[in-house]
Amino acid sequence: GAGVSQSPRYKVAKRGQDVALRCDPISGHVSLFWYQQALGQGPEFLTYFQNEAQLDKSGLPSDRFFAERPEGSVSTLKIQRTQQEDSAVYLCASSSTGRALSYEQYFGPGTRLTVT
């Protein structure tokens, strides 16, 4: 079946613009995660949803970052007033159970955001 998809794959934004990144998880997956991967680093956790509930947003770096999953499937990560330090690859992952503790997270291809 189809894997996790993300759009757009590449996004160039001028500093101060707002951007919206979309994630389509694997159909039926309960859990959805967003990660940020800076150049030369490993992915860093941003936020986690179980169905439509955002259970953990401790990794969001500032109040300019906002994520939602209103119907428990597609999710959008929004970044307001983008800054150069927001340049990174944003990864989405989904998993099939309510707790990610013991189950595999399936990753999408990521959206590469470049802020100029």
Partner 1 sequence: AQSVSQHNHHVILSEAASLELGCNYSYGGTVNLFWYVQYPGQHLQLLLKYFSGDPLVKGIKGFEAEFIKSKFSFNLRKPSVQWSDTAEYFCAVIPYNTDKLIFGTGTRLQVFP
List residues near partner 1 by CB under 8 A: 3-4, 31, 33, 35, 40-45, 48, 55-56, 58-59, 91, 93, 99-102, 104-105, 107-110
Q: How far is the CB of 55 from partner 1 (least distance, A)?
A: 7
Cα–Cα distance, 85 to 13 (Å, whole number): 12
Min dist. Cβ of residue 45 to partner 1 (A): 4
* Burial class for 22, CB neighbours closer than 10 Å (0-12, 13-18, 19+): middle
Q: Which is nearer to partner 1, 82 or 94 (CB)?
A: 94
* Count of all residues that appear for the chain in the document: 116
User: Backbone phi, then psi, for 85, in 5-degree steps?
Assistant: -70, -5
Q: How far is the CB of 20 from partner 1 (least distance, A)?
A: 21
Pick 3 or 16: Cβ nearer partner 1: 3
According to DSSP, residue 40 is labeled T
Helix (H) or strand (E) holding 90: strand 88-95
Closer of 82 and 110 to partner 1 (Cβ) = 110
Q: How far is the CB of 105 from partner 1 (least distance, A)?
A: 6
